[in-house]
Structure formats: structure tokens, C-alpha cells
Amino acid sequence: MLELIILFPVIAGIIAVFLGKHPRLAELVACLGALGAVGAALFSISIFISSGAPISDFSELLRMDALSAFLIGITSVVSLLVFIYSVGYMRHEVEEGIIKEDRLARFYAQLSLFLAAMLTGLLASNPIHVWAAVELTTLSSVFLISFYNTKASIEAAWKYFTINSVGFTLAFIGILVLFYAFAQGGLETPVYGTPFDITKINPLYLKLAFVFVLVGYGTKVGLVPLHVWLPDAHSQAPTPVSALLSGLILNIALYGILRVYGIVILSPEIAGFASGLFILFGVLSLVVGALRLFAQDNLKRLLAYSSVENMGIIVLATGIGGPIAIFAALFHMLAHSLAKPLAFLLGGIITNAYGTKNMPDIKGAASAVPVFGLLFLLAVLGVAGSIPFGTFFSEIALLGGALSKGQYLVALFVIVFTVIAFASFLYKASDMVFGNKPEKMPKHIEVSPYMSFSVIALLLLAIALALFPPAPVLNLIKDAGSLIGGV
């Protein structure tokens, strides 16, 4: 069944290409493709959980273990809700004359192929296949970022493509060094999750491989100082694309790093070096991301810098290591992957109502867009680490992990800069939600049922998994953590 997870959105994307004159049919095909991916993913995950062992398919090119199953579940479910939201959002763009209706089929074709590339990266069985799939996510998403064909969107897309291409070149060098290290030790090409004798590998090669992979993939993750493309790309893409970029695609690139990290930390000579780099990049990203939030006036740039901060938290927790911190890293990845798309999608409803993404021009959203304005405030505070979202619990777990490892200075950084991030979000969002709405706004604003369904479903899912995480999810997190040092 593993190939079906990818095949459904691939087929949907190919069909959508030929539906230029039938945009409604293209919407349906894309959503069915995403639904098929969810069905195949959940079925495969259930097989994996029941078997208790990794499963392979497609001549061993595809492989699912705990880490890939965990992220496949997140990616497929969140993507489906974003696809459904896209129907209402893109129809509104057509009604407002922002895009022409005959471009919708192309949008859904590209969105479906983007989803297929993300899922392929998470199911690839070895480093070179992961690299190829992550590169495909760049190629498929660059046209989505430039979809509006404005000067700003085209510049953002080129910046995204150029910087990430340099990063992927560095990551490719790192993978080649890793392959060379295995060959020199008389070992077969590494397959993720399979045992091997680490003592046969030269530690110097492992160190070089990890540095290149971290810097290379770190570019796409948005780790400081490699994050410069991220605010531009997220602010210029259509809102559904921004939700996928910020909530999911960063996970795919981070997955590439975590897989190599899971290999190099098996070497006692490299483990401290690798975790130290994670802590360094994590702290830098947390600090810069948090400090940049207050200076933003564009809503989507605000949420983009929050992604930098949250990726920093995940990488920092991974670097600290140990069962508590690794759990914090993976649970934060889950929570952020739900809360951040939710914030983008709710933000899309508000910016559609006001006709601007400029936060100083948005006042009284609670009365202009009843319910959704207040939910937006709840969502952005959830992104910043507030109850009832999982980010609150993962940040508390991160503090516990840091203190248990004697990382008192790191714990202090976490407390100070997560508080700064929360305060910035509270100030910015409260200013948007409360107050008097502009007189020129329509008295009644229609919110598409597709958009309403998606945000409510995503909100309920985010809160349910935070407060009542089911045992299979917790077990997946525990097993996935064992692959990256959470033992």
C-alpha cells in the first residue's frame, strides 16, 4: 500500500493538468487525490503498528518505520484539510478578480504534485532518495509561490529556488560523503532504520557528512542564518500554499537531517559534536525568530518568522537529547504542524474580509468576522505556546529535558524568548481582533463552508491531540524518538 500513498495525488495532479476548462472538476479530483493519500496512509500506518516492524514496498525503495509513519500521518491529514480549504479560498480569489478561473486547474495540479513529493520524501528508504524527493518539493512548490505572477511573488520564488538549490547541493555533498564513509567501512548503502556496525566508519567522514547535511537541509528548514528566503516565500504564496510550506514542508527537510543525525549519534566520537550543532542552530533560530516577530506588519511574514522560532525549538530539543527532550521535539513538531496551518487558514479568512494582509489596517476582526476572529486569536496564541494547544506541553517538556541534562542556560533562553514570542503574538493579534472595525467593510461577510469546515476540523484535531493524545500516537512518538537518540 505504500506506493498508493504517493500514487493518489500523482494521478490527481496529472488529471488536473487536463482540466483547464473544468475548474470545479479539478477541485474535486485534487481533493479526492488527497483523500486517497490519507486513506492509504492510515491503512499503512495501522499495518505498521500491528506488525511492530518496518514495512517496505516498491522493490524496497519505499519504507515505513515509526518516524516516517508519524510524519506521514501528520502530512496527509493536514494536507487534505488544506486542499478542502483551497476550494473556498481560490474561488474567492476568482470572484475578486485576483486570478482567472482558467488557472485553477493548474493550481490544483501543482498542489497535488507538491503533496506527492512531500509524501515521497517521508517514505524514501535511503538518503539519496530522500534528497531527490525533497528537491522535487522545491521544484513543485516554486511555481505555487509565484502563482500570482506579481513582481514580488516572482522575486520570492526565485529567492526560494536559488537559496534552496545551493542548500541542496551542500546536502548532496554530505550524502556522498556519508556513502563514501559506508563504502570505506565495507558496509552497504545505508537504509534508514537498519542496523550496522558504526565502529567500521571513519568518524571524520561522519562529521563532514553531518555538517554538509545540516547546513544543506537547514536552508530549507529555515534555520538561522539560512532562513532569509522563508518570510518572502510565505508572504507571497496563496494562503493554502503558505499553510503547507510553514506547517509541513519544513518538517520534510528536517526529516532529512534527523535521519542522518540518527546515524551519526551512534558514534560516541561524533554524538557530542552533532548535538552541539543542533543546540547552536536551535538557540539562534529561537532567538532571531522571536525577536523579529514584533517588527512585522504583514500577517503572513509574522507567521513565517514564527516558523523560524518553532523550528529552532524542535532542533534545540533534539540537540539536548534524552527521552524527555526528544519527546518534546516530536510532540512540538506535531503541535506546530496543526497550529501553524490553522493560523494561516484563519488568517486567510480575515485578510479576505479586509482585503489586506497589513495588520495595522485590520481592526475589530471579532465583530467583522464573528467566531473566526476569536478563533484566529486562539490559534496564533497556540502557535506561541498557549493552552489548549500541544505547543504548550512540548515547551514545558523541553524545559524539563534541558534541566534534566543540566542545560540551565539553554532553559533560560527558552523561557525568555518563548515569552517574548508569546507577548509579541498577543500584542499583534489582540490589536487585530479587538477594536472598531472600519466603516467601509461590508456589514455581512460570507465565509465559504469549505473554509469553515477545514478550520473547525483542524482546530478540533489540534486540541484533541494536545489534551487527549491516543496511545498509538504516543507510542509512535516514543518509537520514532528511539531512532534519533531518545533512548
Four-CA torsion 21, 24, 25, 28, nearest 10 degrees? 150
Most confident of the ranges 139-143, 221-225, 342-346: 342-346
> Residue 181 above 70 pLDDT?
yes
What average pLDDT score do residues 471-487 get? 87
Q: What distance in Å separates the CA atoms of residue 397 and residue 329, rounded to the nearest whole number?
A: 9
DSSP H or E segment with residue 478: helix 471-482
pLDDT at position 443 is 58
Q: Biggest alpha carbon distance in the chain? A: 73
Q: Binning pLDDT at 50, 70 and 90, where does residue 223 land?
A: very high
Q: Binning pLDDT at 50, 70 and 90, where does residue 60 land?
A: confident
> Residue 252 above 90 pLDDT?
yes
Q: What distance in Å separates the CA atoms of residue 112 and residue 218, rounded to the nearest whole number?
A: 25
What average pLDDT score do residues 273-280 get? 94
DSSP state for residue 199 in the 8-state scheme: G
Q: What distance in Å separates the CA atoms of residue 291 and residue 66, rounded to the nearest whole number?
A: 35
Alpha-carbon distance values, 11 to 43, 58, 108, 134, 141 (Å):
19, 17, 12, 19, 17
Four-CA torsion 262, 264, 266, 267, nearest 10 degrees? -170
DSSP state for residue 124 in the 8-state scheme: B
Q: What distance in Å separates the CA atoms of residue 101 and residue 24, rounded to the nearest whole number?
A: 10
Side-chain-facing half-sphere of 207: CA atoms under 13 Å = 10
pLDDT at position 198 is 84
> Residue 106 above 90 pLDDT?
yes
> Residue 212 above 70 pLDDT?
yes
Q: Binning pLDDT at 50, 70 and 90, where does residue 234 land?
A: confident
pLDDT at position 337 is 95
Dump pLDDT digits (tens) for 8-24.
Answer: 999 999 999 999 889 89
> Residue 232 above 90 pLDDT?
no
Q: Do residues 127 and 260 lie in contact, with contact meaning Cβ atoms separated by under 8 Å?
A: yes
Dump pLDDT digits (tens) for 113-148.
Answer: 999 999 999 999 888 999 999 999 998 899 999 999
Q: Do residues 23 and 85 lie in contact, with contact meaning Cβ atoms separated by under 8 Å?
A: no
pLDDT at position 370 is 85
> Residue 318 above 90 pLDDT?
yes
Alpha-carbon distance values, 294 to 126, 155, 291, 424 (Å):
41, 24, 7, 5
Cell output for 222: 529555515
Closest CA to 391 of 431, 336, 345: 336
What average pLDDT score do residues 168-175 get? 94
What average pLDDT score do residues 159-184 get? 92
Q: What distance in Å separates the CA atoms of residue 10 and residue 4, rounded to the nearest whole number?
A: 9
Query: DSSP H helical segments within 52-150, as ranges?
Result: 66-95, 104-123, 127-145
> Residue 72 above 80 pLDDT?
yes
Closest CA to 469 of 314, 358, 338: 338
Dump pLDDT digits (tens) for 366-406.
Answer: 888 888 999 999 999 999 999 899 999 999 999 999 999 99
Q: Do residues 418 and 382 lie in contact, with contact meaning Cβ atoms separated by under 8 Å?
A: no
pLDDT at position 215 is 94
What share of the chain in percent tops pLDDT 90?
67
Residue identified by cell 526528544 is 326
Mean pLDDT score across all residues of the chain: 91
pLDDT at position 442 is 62
Chain centroid to Cα 115, Å, comes to 12
Task: Label the pairing between strands 55-57 and 62-64.
Answer: antiparallel
> Residue 467 above 80 pLDDT?
yes
Q: Do residues 116 and 485 lie in contact, with contact meaning Cβ atoms separated by under 8 Å?
A: no
Closest CA to 463 of 396, 395, 387: 387
Dump pLDDT digits (tens) for 31-42.
Answer: 999 999 999 999
What average pLDDT score do residues 67-96 get? 94
Residue identified by cell 537531517 is 257
> Residue 189 above 80 pLDDT?
no
Alpha-carbon distance values, 275 to 131, 210, 211, 306 (Å):
22, 11, 11, 23
3-state secondary structure of 446: coil
Cell output for 224: 538561522
Q: At what angle do helices 203-221 and 250-264 cross, to 10 degrees?
A: 170
Q: At what angle do helices 23-51 and 2-17 cross, to 10 degrees?
A: 170
Q: What distance in Å separates the CA atoms of residue 14 and residue 24, rounded to the nearest whole number?
A: 16
First-residue to last-residue Cα distance in the chain? 30
Residues 6+ apart with CB under 8 A from 336: 247, 307, 310, 314, 383, 391
Q: Binning pLDDT at 50, 70 and 90, where does residue 58 land?
A: confident
Closest CA to 393 of 349, 458, 478, 334: 334
Q: Please state, as a whole number, how many other Cβ atoms lie within 10 Å of the Cβ of residue 227.
A: 25
